[in-house]
């Protein structure tokens, strides 16, 4: 069946997004169709997201000894890696990390902790204090990724001023058991739903390059559309020595760009940002992520790996003609 990119674009521009069947055709495309798809995704992104790039920075607030066995993760207690291990850092250190992200040009800042879910009340209180100070003294929108949480804890974070909760599904439901079997996929789905019920925006995406099929990438996109998440972080695997996926090869850059375009056309109005692994997998085509439909990226270092110089990323988006992010509007 011929790939009708013009028809798919019309569908995406309505806000509904393309069908699963069309998404699979898109992600399998080759030849000249590929560049037409990227252009289509770019036009849809600019229609819904404008010409302003967003940047987020994160801090590894509590690292290592995670009881989950996610096969990609350097912080899992099941794997022998050289990842840092430390308890929850102090509130002042959390705030200093936020200040650094602001200085680099970020408009969002995420506090990230290792573990199934943060349960310690004192640690939650420390994070709430850092959120409140970030709101008072910076132009950043505070975000957090604290694992599987219930609605009451999420409401407490919302009351402290949290704007967005991050909780990745990581991969498609049909592939998840090959990546992690220490908790159920539905626990992650329920956390996303609980954050929405708590009145938070939700950032949820996954990692590409975990051995999933094109169909499973589409499956993940459709699940995220069903959950109506607000932001989709697209990560690419960075293999870590000591993990089961340490020998996985990188994806081809054009394969990565097609995946970004597919997420844009399935979730046309949402924020799509490119995060970890872009240096290794996109290589010289990093700037093309925006042409493929992204509207933001994570800058600075990641949880256990170093990122590209943040100033270089900001300069890259300016060279592409994007405006800097809008400071978070306090209400």
What is the tens place of the pLDDT at every residue in 106-151?
999 999 999 999 999 999 999 999 999 999 999 999 999 999 999 9
Give, in order, the Cα–Cα distances in Å from 252 to each of 16, 27, 69, 285: 29, 13, 27, 10
CA distance 244 to 145: 24
Give tens-digit pLDDT for 3-32. 789 999 999 999 999 999 999 999 999 888
pLDDT, mean over the chain: 93
* pLDDT mean over 152-156: 96
In three-state form (DSSP H/G/I as H, E/B as E, the rest C), the secondary structure along 256-320 is: HHHHHHHHHHHCCCCEEEECCCHHHHHHHHCCHHHHCCCCEEECCCCCCCCCCCHHHHHHHHHHC
Q: How far out from the chain centre does Cα 290 lie?
A: 15
CA distance 299 to 275: 8
CB within 8 Å of 287: residues ≥ 6 apart:
316, 319, 320
What CATH number was assigned to the domain covering residues 19-317?
Answer: 3.20.20.70
Whole-structure pTM value: 0.94
Query: In the prediction, which pLDDT does 182 show?
Result: 97
Count CB neighbours of 182 within 10 A.
Answer: 12
CA distance 297 to 59: 15
Q: Given a cut of 90, is residue 270 above it in pLDDT?
A: yes
Most confident residue range from 58-62, 185-189, 317-321: 185-189
Query: In the prediction, which pLDDT does 1 show?
Result: 46
Give tens-digit pLDDT for 290-310. 999 999 999 875 555 556 778
3-state helix, strand, coil in the chain (%, to 5): 45, 15, 40
| 2 — pLDDT class (breaks 50, 70, 90) | low
Give tens-digit pLDDT for 234-262. 999 999 999 999 999 999 999 999 999 99
Question: What's 146's DSSP letter?
Answer: -
Q: How far out from the chain centre does Cα 103 lie?
A: 21
CA distance 217 to 24: 9
Query: In the prediction, which pLDDT does 330 show?
Result: 64
Query: In the prediction, which pLDDT does 168 show?
Result: 97
| 84 — pLDDT class (breaks 50, 70, 90) | confident
Q: Given a cut of 60, is residue 331 above it in pLDDT?
A: no
Query: In the prediction, which pLDDT does 287 show?
Result: 94
């Amino acid at each position: 069946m011929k790939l009708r990119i013009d028809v798919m674009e019309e569908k995406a521009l309505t806000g509904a997004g393309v069908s699963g069947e069309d998404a699979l055709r898109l992600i399998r495309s080759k030849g000249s169709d590929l560049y037409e798809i990227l252009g289509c995704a770019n036009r849809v992104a600019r229609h819904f997201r404008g010409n302003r790039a967003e940047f987020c920075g994160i801090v590894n607030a509590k690292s290592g000894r995670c009881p989950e066995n996610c096969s990609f993760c350097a912080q899992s207690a099941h794997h022998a890696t050289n990842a840092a291990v430390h308890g929850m850092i102090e509130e002042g250190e959390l705030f200093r990390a936020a200040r650094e992200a602001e200085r680099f040009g970020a408009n969002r800042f995420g506090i990230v902790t290792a573990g199934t879910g943060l349960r310690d009340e004192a640690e939650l209180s420390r994070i709430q204090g850092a959120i409140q100070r970030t709101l008072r003294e910076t132009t950043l929108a505070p975000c957090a990724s604290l694992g599987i949480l219930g609605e009451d804890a999420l409401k407490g974070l919302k009351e402290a001023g949290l704007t967005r909760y991050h909780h990745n599904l990581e991969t498609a439901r049909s592939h998840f058991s090959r990546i992690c079997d220490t908790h159920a996929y539905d626990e992650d789905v329920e956390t996303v739903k609980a954050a929405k019920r708590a009145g938070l925006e939700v950032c949820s995406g996954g990692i590409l390059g975990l051995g999933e099929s094109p169909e499973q990438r589409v499956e993940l996109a459709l699940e995220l559309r069903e959950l109506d998440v607000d932001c989709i972080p697209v990560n690419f695997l960075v293999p870590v020595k000591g993990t089961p996926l340490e020998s996985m090869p990188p994806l081809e850059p054009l394969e990565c760009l097609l995946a970004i375009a597919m997420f844009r056309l399935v979730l046309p109005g949402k924020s799509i940002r490119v995060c970890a692994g872009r240096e290794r997998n996109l290589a010289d085509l990093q700037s093309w992520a925006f042409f493929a439909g992204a509207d933001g990226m994570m800058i600075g270092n990641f949880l256990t790996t170093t990122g590209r110089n943040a100033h270089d990323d900001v300069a890259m988006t300016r060279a592409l003609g994007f405006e800097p992010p809008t400071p978070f509007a306090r209400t």
